[in-house]
Amino acid sequence: MDIIFLREMKVDAVIGIWEWERKIRQTVSIDLDMATDIRKAAASDSVEDTLNYKSVAKRVQGFVADSGFQLVETLAERIAAIVLDEFDVSWVRVRVSKPGAIRGARDVGILIERGSRPADD
């Protein structure tokens, strides 16, 4: 199995359940692990033959910036659906966190996996 990953994408978004959270933008951090077969790209050395992680990042960043969900759970599910539906990915792991959201904790968030995780070759 091949994994293309993106780490610590920072996006400012309206997210949260409290009234004050609905009035401000907070930074969320997003990690993606995406299963895809990179062998064709490795042989051709062409971006057209692989998952273009810049395209994934731009799509996810734009979606998150325009969103207004109450729960990070909802945001994570929607990100997973975008990656699975719009890109050549059979499985995705999405981590969404709100750094500093809980006093005394560095980070809080959600980690989900969606799709069919391929067997290791």
Burial class (CB in 10 A: 0-12, 13-18, 19+), 56: buried
Has 98 been annotated as catalytic?
Answer: yes
Quick one: pLDDT at residue 1?
Answer: 81
Q: Is 12 helix (H, G, I), strand (E, B) or coil?
A: strand
C-alpha closest to that of 53 among 29, 27, 28, 89: 89
Q: Which of 40, 54, 58, 98 is catalytic?
A: 98
pLDDT 10s digits, 25-80? 999 999 999 999 999 999 999 999 999 999 999 999 999 999 999 999 999 999 99
pLDDT of residue 86 exceeding 90: yes
Instruction: Please state which architecture CATH assigns to domain 3-115.
Output: 2-Layer Sandwich (3.30)
Query: In angstroms, rounded to a whole number, what is the distance separating the alpha carbons of residues 25 and 13?
Result: 5
| Residue spans per domain, the chain | 3-115
pLDDT of residue 8 exceeding 60: yes
